[in-house]
Amino acid sequence: QGTRDNPPAHTALRDRLLAAVVTCFKRHGAAAIDTPVLELRETLMGKYGEQAKLIYELQDQGGELLALRYDLTVPFARYLAMNKITNIKRYHIAKVYRRDNPATTRGRYREFYQCDFDIAGQFDPMIPDAECLKIVHEILSDLQLGDFLIKVNDRRILNGVFAVCGIPESKFISTCSTIDKLDKMPWEEVRSEMVGEKGLSPEAADRIGEYVQLHGGLDLIERLLQDPKLSQNKLAKEGLGDMKLLFEYLTLFGIAGKISFDLSLARGLDYYTGVIYEAVLLQQENDHVEEPVSVGSVAGGGRYDGLVGMFDPKGRKVPCVGVSIGIERIFSILEERMKASGEKVRTTETQVLVATPHKHLLAARLKLISELWDAGIKAEMLYKKDPKLLKQLQYCEDTGIPLAAIVGEQELTDGVVKLRDVTTREEVRM
Amino acid sequence: QGTRDNPPAHTALRDRLLAAVVTCFKRHGAAAIDTPVLELRETLMGKYGEQAKLIYELQDQGGELLALRYDLTVPFARYLAMNKITNIKRYHIAKVYRRDNPATTRGRYREFYQCDFDIAGQFDPMIPDAECLKIVHEILSDLQLGDFLIKVNDRRILNGVFAVCGIPESKFISTCSTIDKLDKMPWEEVRSEMVGEKGLSPEAADRIGEYVQLHGGLDLIERLLQDPKLSQNKLAKEGLGDMKLLFEYLTLFGIAGKISFDLSLARGLDYYTGVIYEAVLLQQENDHVEEPVSVGSVAGGGRYDGLVGMFDPKGRKVPCVGVSIGIERIFSILEERMKASGEKVRTTETQVLVATPHKHLLAARLKLISELWDAGIKAEMLYKKDPKLLKQLQYCEDTGIPLAAIVGEQELTDGVVKLRDVTTREEVRM
């Protein structure tokens, strides 16, 4: 339940997507690592808050208590701490497991791929952070998914906002998770959840509302740096200073136009400590719509400077920043688009079918196909002793093989092969 | 326990190996499929005989009872039956799980990759079977693993031998598993296991011994086809006829020289119904050794015509033949070889490091690297505002980056870049 077999057409499209992502990760000098799908249960416990109940646990069959990994970030942090690695740029593409009741119709499953790129190490501020955003920009552009927007914020700015609005620190995280709903519900509903469920005062909620509905660019950062209350808060000031630096770097990268500093972005996970970001595709319903509609997040990430320290016996921290590409959502978008356009993915790459026009020529086919394979040519033949030529050509059309190499008695005598273009039906002897 | 993290150097070597295997599978026109790592427990039960105790089971957290896949063949058969597919050529490369106590020093782990290629469908005899052997031959040649031998046999021939030696049919499978030890122990020990543990008569064991110690080529097949006892057995005759056909096809493929018809090959799994094979690497201890020594199996497979029917409600059979490449063993062999030769794998593919010779040039680096990335060039820079040139060049040497693109004040003014070959130290302005 909640999983699926991936037939050739799915796998071919997914492999193409993954290849594009890997190409980008390698372009940025990342090395690949791989960790087991099994983790000790205790490694995963206390890292995912309430979501921990979605972790798949293995039966106790003697030995260690195990679970299936829930994401790739916690195993990465464990890997760094265990091996005392303080400096690495790595990517990891693998499946993770969540005992969820996901909307399988929208391409969400209990088993799904994550594509993570992370930079660990003590570096000058915002340089690796900016690179993560550049990567998101490159991948979404490469995949030609249409217009998109990358929202950025900083946990320190949010915490600063909460502080100057008079929220007690114990309510920061739960307020964050309410704020995070602003992309799905209007401010009025978010406000009433804050006051009703989270127990904030109406005045505090209104003060928060003034901030978290802001979004913009460098101008907004400058304005908030001048904000009489916020500029007095140390954390917020730090966050805003770094945000300004980030926009400088993004301008040098030529991508600031796609970035929106958005104070409503909060992100669910507890472990973020600095900049956070999320990319959304924009759907132009038609040319007359003024505001483009978001069709959901396709990438996200942020800075988590405390996670590795949780696995180190001495609590030594390794600052990390990373991004995860939402390949499954991108897959469903592309799949639907192909369905709509009637485009078909070829599931094989065969270049030529070795065929014979009449009986008793199996030996000739076997010899020829073997020569082609040895020359690195992708070739197939039908597994029949005496297949009809029509059937062989039909197989080419069905599977998209562009060429047929035909050997009959005459060709054998002349020492040639008849090469036929399946679409145009043109033939050359060679 | 029994699993490991794969650091960049491992992952880079494994990715290279897997790419070679995929290239071969695609050359033969196979499509990729992917199935979940989770299977229903009942799907796996009754398929692996005694080995079933090594299956990882998931905790009952409500809902279905699940287990981790034990191999890729049973999920493949389930996939065919569930989707009523009667005809496919597919490959599947993925990890499988066995709660074993494997010899991790020899590269065997509880989580390991399998690389499977299978052809399902009703075809003329031995044509797909011969292609599986051609694939093994191509992969082992491509990987330059040294000399190898592919042993072939047929379950029907073995069963025929057992029958004419007077073994009751109920003891065929257990006799098979004893025969399978002939590559690790001498005939005398195998014989005493047959008589002692398996309860065969000494005469029957001796009669079997005369057959299973035979190995050869077409000549041996012809000889056994004339064998007064064996030629009277229907199954053996069928198997020998097909074996002859197989050798004909392998001769046309030009690979018969590496194939040995070996009556001691039995293979452990119950589900094989026809031809079986196993590839072993041969180690020439030194030039004077007469018989080359086997260093273990690196590929294996065979025909299993009954497995899909076990998953079909009406028992409809789909004939299948396939091969599994033992990528983990090949990996350990290559890894040891590289250790011995001191060769290092590059873990990244970065072509150029963007560097600056003095301070206050971060903006220039960010602009240049962004241009390089956008042009598809694999480029890195150090995440420091003002790194020393020496440190930057040192980083190139440490990680194998061949080029450094250097921009200083002078280059900025002149609108050029200084491109430095890290090894030769030659520089060109461009």
Domain interval for residue B393: 352-429
Residue B3 resides in a domain: no
- Return the closest-CA partner of residue A74 out of A22, A39, A34: A39
CA–CA separation, B220 and B218 (whole Å): 5
- Cβ atoms of B38 and A2 closer than 8 Å: no
| Domain end residue (candidates: A341, A371, A399) | A341
Query: Which of B279, B314, B341 finishes a domain?
Result: B341
pLDDT value at residue B286: 47
Mean pLDDT (chain A, rounded): 93
pLDDT at B255: 98
Q: Do B32 and A385 touch (CB under 8 A)?
A: no
Residues B372/B352, Cβ–Cβ less than 8 Å: yes
Q: How confident is the model at residue A267 (pLDDT cuts 50, 70, 90)?
A: confident
Q: Do A27 and B373 touch (CB under 8 A)?
A: yes
Q: Are residues A81 and A227 in the same domain?
A: yes
Q: Are residues A121 and A201 in the same domain?
A: yes
Q: Across the interface, do B347 and A32 touch by the CB < 8 Å criterion?
A: yes
* Beta-carbon separation of A12 and B32 below 8 A: yes
Residue A360's CB is within 10 A of a number of other CB atoms, namely 10
Q: Which residues contact A294 (CB under 8 A, 6 or more apart)?
A: A149, A183, A280, A281, A282, A283
A219 and A148 part of one domain: yes
In this complex, do B36 and A5 lie within 8 Å of one another by their Cβ atoms? yes
Residues of A annotated in the binding site for L-histidine, as ranges? Answer: 71-73, 98, 114, 118, 267, 271-272
Q: How far is A422 from chain B (nearest CA, A)?
A: 17
What CA–CA distance (Å, rounded) separates B48 from B39?
A: 14
What residue ranges of chain B have pLDDT lower than 70? 102-107, 284-295
Q: Does the distance separating the beta carbons of B124 and A33 come in below 8 Å?
A: no
Contact A395, B159 (CB under 8 A): no
d(Cα B152, Cα A325) in Å, to the nearest integer? 46
Non-local (6+) Cβ contacts of B182 within 8 A are: B190, B212, B213, B264
Question: What is the model's pLDDT at position B344?
Answer: 86
Residue of B nearest to A119 (CA): B383
Nearest to A31 among B58, B253, B348 (CB): B348
* Last residue in a domain, options B341, B364, B386: B341
User: Is any Cβ of chain B less than 8 angstroms from the Cβ of A64?
Assistant: yes
Identify which of B57, B123, B138 has the shortest CB distance to residue A384.
B123
Please compute the mean of the pLDDT values over residues A150-159 and round it to a whole number.
96
Per-residue pLDDT at A372 exceeds 70: yes
Return d(Cα B100, Cα A286) in angstroms, integer: 59
Find the range with the poorest average confidence among A124-138, A315-329, B176-190, B305-319.
Answer: B176-190
Secondary structure (H, E, C), chain B: CCCCCECHHHHHHHHHHHHHHHHHHHHCCCEECECCCEEEHHHHCCCCHHHHHHCCEECCCCCCCEEECCCCHHHHHHHHHHCCCCCEEEEEEEEEECCCCCCHHHCCCCEEEEEEEEEECCCCCCHHHHHHHHHHHHHHHHCCCCCEEEEEEEHHHHHHHHHHCCCCHHHHHHHHHHHHHHHCCCHHHHHHHHHHCCCCCHHHHHHHHHHHCCEECHHHHHHHHHCCCHHHCHHHHHHHHHHHHHHHHHHHCCCHHHEEEECCCCCCCCCCCCEEEEEEEEECCCCCCCCCEEEEEEEEEEECCCCHHHHCCCCCCCCEEEEEECHHHHHHHHHHHHHHHCCCCCCCCCCEEEECCCCCCHHHHHHHHHHHHHCCCCEECCCCCCCCHHHHHHHHHHHCCCEEEECCHHHHHHCCCEEEECCCCCEEEC
pLDDT of A59 > 90? The answer is yes
- A346 occurs within a structural domain: no
Q: Which CA distances in Å does A247 have to A33, A131, A211, B364?
A: 31, 12, 19, 16
- Chain B contact for A123, CB < 8 A? yes
pLDDT above 50 for A75? yes
Chain B residues in contact with A370 by the CB 8 A cut-off are 134, 252-254
**B151 touches B270 (CB < 8 A):** no
Whether residue A36 and residue B3 make contact (CB cut-off 8 A), yes or no, is: yes
Instruction: Locate B187 and state its tokens.
Output: 């005939």
Residue B325 lies in a domain: yes
Looking at the fold, whether B275 and B424 belong to one and the same domain comes out as no
Which residues are CB-contacts of A186 (< 8 A; sequence separation ≥ 6)? none
Residue B78 confidence (pLDDT): 97
The band of A248, judged by pLDDT with boundaries at 50, 70 and 90, is: very high
Total of domains in chain B: 2
Chain B closest-CA separation from residue A201 CA (Å): 40
Q: Tell me what pLDDT residue B49 has.
A: 75
Average of pLDDT values for A6-14? Answer: 95
Longest dimension (CA), chain B: 95
pLDDT of residue B422: 97
Q: Which residues contact B270 (CB under 8 A, 6 or more apart)?
A: B49, B173
Q: How far is B340 from chain A (nearest CA, A)?
A: 23
pLDDT of residue B138: 98
Residues 6+ apart with CB under 8 A from A419: A352, A403, A404, A405, A406, A427, A428, A429, A430
How many contacts does A have with B, using Cβ atoms within 8 A?
A: 192
A59 shares contact with chain B (CB less than 8 Å): yes
Question: Each residue of A160-215: pLDDT tens digit?
Answer: 999 999 999 988 888 888 888 888 889 999 999 999 988 899 999 999 999 999 99
* Residue A206 located in a structural domain: yes
Residue A287's pLDDT band, with cuts at 50, 70 and 90, is very low
Q: Could you tell me if A329 and A371 lie in one domain? A: no
A64 contacts on B by Cβ (under 8 Å): 1
HEC per residue, chain A: CCCCCECHHHHHHHHHHHHHHHHHHHHCCCEECECCCEEEHHHHCCCCHHHHHHCCEECCCCCCCEEECCCCHHHHHHHHHHCCCCCEEEEEEEEEECCCCCCHHHCCCCEEEEEEEEEECCCCCCHHHHHHHHHHHHHHHHCCCCCEEEEEEEHHHHHHHHHHCCCCHHHHHHHHHHHHHHHCCCHHHHHHHHHHCCCCCHHHHHHHHHHHCCEECHHHHHHHHHCCCHHHCHHHHHHHHHHHHHHHHHHHCCCHHHEEEECCCCCCCCCCCCEEEEEEEEECCCCCCCCCEEEEEEEEEEECCCCHHHHCCCCCCCCEEEEEECHHHHHHHHHHHHHHHCCCCCCCCCCEEEECCCCCCHHHHHHHHHHHHHCCCCEECCCCCCCCHHHHHHHHHHHCCCEEEECCHHHHHHCCCEEEECCCCCEEEC
> Is the minimum CB–CB distance between B317 and chain A shorter than 8 Å?
no
Is residue A249 a contact partner of residue B366, using CB atoms and an 8 Å limit?
yes
Residue A347 lies in a domain: no
Q: Which amino acid is at B117?
A: F
Contacts of residue B291, Cβ cutoff 8 Å, sequence gap at least 6: none
Closest CA to B71 of B127, B115, B10: B115
| Cβ–Cβ < 8 Å for B305, B274 | yes
The CA-atom distances, in angstroms, between B123 and each of A19, A348, B320 are 34, 20, 10
Residues of A in contact with B11 (CB under 8 A): 31-34
Asked if residue B305 and residue B274 are part of one domain, the reply reads yes
Residues of chain B contacting A133 with CB distance shorter than 8 Å:
none
Q: Which distant-in-sequence residues (6+ apart) come within 8 Å of A305 by Cβ? A: A273, A274, A317, A318, A319, A320
pTM for the structure as a whole: 0.93
Contacts of B309 (CB under 8 A, 6+ apart): B81, B315, B316, B317, B318
| Distance between CA atoms of residues B401 and B230, nearest Å | 65
- Looking at the structure, tell me whether residues A176 and A213 fall in a common domain: yes
Same-domain status, B248 and B329:
yes
Interface predicted TM-score (ipTM) of this complex, two decimals: 0.92
A100 band by pLDDT with thresholds 50, 70 and 90: confident
Residue-wise pLDDT tens digits, B276-322: 999 999 975 544 444 545 567 899 999 999 999 999 999 999 999 99
CA distance B378 to A24: 9
* CATH code of residue A378: 3.40.50.800
A66 & A178 share domain: yes
Find the mean pLDDT for residues A2-23.
Answer: 95
Residue B271 lies in a domain: yes
Q: Is B4's CB within 8 Å of A36's CB?
A: yes
Instruction: Please report, as a single letter, which amino acid is at residue A334.
Output: L
Q: What token pair was written down for B260? A: 């040995």
Q: Examine residue A2 and state whether it is found in any structural domain, yes or no.
A: no
Question: Of residues B288 and A332, which shows the higher confidence score?
Answer: A332
- Interchain pair B7, A377: CB under 8 A: no
- Is there a single domain that holds both residue A167 and residue A289? yes
Q: Tell me if A370 and B252 make a contact (CB, 8 A cut-off).
A: yes
The closest alpha carbon to B26, from A32, A8, A384, A355, belongs to A8
Q: Residue A198 is part of a domain; what is its CATH number?
A: 3.30.930.10
Residue B287: what pLDDT? 46
How confident is residue A294, by pLDDT bands cut at 50, 70 and 90?
low
User: Beta A88-97 vs A293-303: how paired, if at all?
Assistant: unpaired
Examine the pLDDT at A285 and tell me if it is beyond 90: no
Q: Do B293 and B382 belong to one domain?
A: no
Cα A299 to Cα A137, A151, A183, B85, distances in angstroms:
10, 10, 15, 36
Same-domain pairing of B217 and B362: no
* Contact across the interface for B383 and A119, Cβ inside 8 Å: yes
The 10 Å CB-count burial string (b at 16+, else e) for A270-280 is bbbbbbbbbbb
Euclidean distance between CA atoms A60 and A36, whole angstroms: 18
CA dist B95 and A327 (Å) reads: 20
Residues of A in contact with B59 (CB under 8 A): 56-60
Q: Give the residue from A44, A366, A369, A403 with the most B CB atoms within 10 Å of its CB, the best one to mutate.
A: A366
Residue B84 · residue B128 · CB < 8 Å: no
Q: Tell me the pairing of strands B31-32 and B88-97.
A: parallel
Is A1 among the domain residues? no
Are B149 and B136 a contacting pair, CB within 8 Å? no
